[in-house]
Each structure stands twice: as C-alpha cells, then as structure tokens.
C-alpha cells in the first residue's frame, strides 16, 4: 500500500523578471507503507523540491500529492499545519535545533506545537530521546552535544508525534562517516521496530545501500528506481 504518492509534479521558481528555474518536470513516485526509501541524484536534480512538496512544506504548480490515500496538496493552511505537526516528521542536514533550549525542550516544543499539554509533551519527549540513546542527555543544550547527538535529538523531535512518514533532507550530510553509519543504522532499527516510513534525500551511496529502495532523479524527473540493501 502506498502511504505517500507524488503524481506528475511540476515546480518552477522565479529568480528574476523573466528567469525561471524548473525544479520539477513531471516527477512521479510512490512510497510504500513501512519502507525506507532513498532519493538520490546530483545537485539541482529536484530531490529536495519533491521532498518539500511531499511533506506539505510547499505546493506544486501542477500535479498532486497524496498522503494515506488523501489528496493534501490542495488543502488550506490550517489543515496543512496540522499535517506537518502530526502526520509528517522532518529531519534536516543542519539539525535545526533551538540553541538556547535543552534537548528535551527542543523535542517538547514539537509535541506542544502538535497540541500536547506541557506535561504530556515532556513525558513523550523523554521517551523519544531514550529511544535514540539520549536518555542521559535530556538537559544538555545543542552546543554541549556532538553532531551525531544533535542529529539524534532532531530524529527524536521528528518521531515524537508518532508520524506516518519521516522525511530526511541529507540527514547525514554534516556528519563524519562513522557517525553517519550509526545514525543510518538507528533509523533502520526504528523503521524495522515501529514500521515508521522513512524517505531520505541523500548524496551518500551508503545511505542508499541501507534503504529498501533507491529512486534516482535528474533534471526534475524520476529516472529509475532499484532495490537496495
């Protein structure tokens, strides 16, 4: 069963009065329930753009996006905010943590944003951090954590609201090889243990090898897909 589908997506960005960049040119793909999928391709191929559209962070100029069989690209702002808060989790290359907040407060912020009480948010955030191996680092701020630990906090934040899909944009891009391997292994374990679907945009072939399937993109189009692992 496809949990996330993109059909014939087109997206262009205006850089000047008559200067446009066509980021997507009819791209289509389907993500199956509980799979771990990598999207690969050179810079400018449309990888991040298709992820942003599938995560309801932006709207396509043409085409449609479906989440769990429901069209979502045409929804209003309030409903899109709810989907981003509860149904889709995000992991970014630069971690995107609030530097003045502790690890648990960074994760709790996402839970409160999704409607949890402060007390409940703290409770589920502590558990999410324990699940990624940071149960002893709850009160540390980002500057007191290594890059790998910061990304673990970001993963806990992405998972705290039990989303249907987690989207990662170069989630290992700022990490060394050993730490990258640890982070990917941890995401693979979470995927296997919980059935959470992961879609990872990456340049790293080792990330692709750890996934169930790899999608290749170039010039705004999906070229091919292949089994991985």
C-alpha span between 132 and 156 (Å, rounded)? 7
Contacts (Cβ under 8 Å, ≥6 apart) of 189: none
SS3 68: coil
Q: What is the DSSP letter of 229?
A: -
C-alpha span between 173 and 107 (Å, rounded)? 21
CA 187 vs. chain centroid, Å, equals: 11
**DSSP H helical ranges for the chain:** 47-54, 77-86, 103-113, 118-131, 147-159, 177-194, 205-210
Contact (Cβ atoms closer than 8 angstroms) between residue 171 and residue 200: yes
Domains and their CATH numbers in the chain: 33-59+77-227 (3.40.50.300)
pLDDT tens, per residue, the chain with 229 residues: 799 999 999 999 988 777 888 999 999 999 999 999 999 999 999 999 999 999 999 999 999 999 999 999 999 988 999 999 899 999 988 889 999 999 999 999 999 999 999 999 999 999 999 999 999 999 999 999 999 999 999 999 999 999 999 999 999 988 899 999 999 999 999 999 999 999 999 999 999 999 999 999 999 999 866 555 5
| Prediction pTM value | 0.92
* Residue keyed to tokens 């329930």: 33
């Amino acid at each position: 069963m496809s949990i996330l589908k993109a059909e014939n997506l087109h997206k262009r960005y205006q850089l000047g009065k008559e200067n446009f960049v066509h980021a997507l040119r009819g791209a289509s793909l389907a993500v199956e329930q509980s799979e771990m999928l990598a999207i690969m391709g050179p810079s400018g191929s449309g990888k991040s753009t298709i992820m942003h559209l599938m995560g309801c962070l932006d709207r396509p100029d043409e085409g449609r996006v479906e989440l769990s069989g429901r069209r979502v690209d045409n929804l209003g702002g309030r409903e899109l905010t709810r989907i981003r808060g509860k149904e889709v989790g995000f992991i970014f290359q630069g971690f995107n943590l609030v530097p003045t907040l502790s690890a648990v407060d960074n994760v709790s912020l996402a839970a409160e944003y999704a409607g949890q009480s402060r007390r409940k948010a703290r409770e589920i955030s502590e558990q999410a951090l324990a699940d990624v191996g940071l149960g002893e680092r709850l009160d540390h701020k980002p500057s007191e954590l290594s890059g790998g630990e910061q990304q673990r906090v970001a993963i806990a934040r992405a998972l705290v609201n039990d989303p249907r899909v987690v989207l990662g944009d170069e989630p290992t891009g700022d990490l060394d090889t050993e730490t990258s391997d640890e982070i990917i292994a941890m995401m693979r374990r979470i995927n296997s243990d919980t059935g959470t679907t992961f879609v990872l945009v990456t340049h790293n072939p080792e990330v692709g090898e750890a996934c169930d399937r790899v999608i290749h993109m170039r010039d705004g189009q999906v070229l091919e897909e292949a089994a991985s692992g």
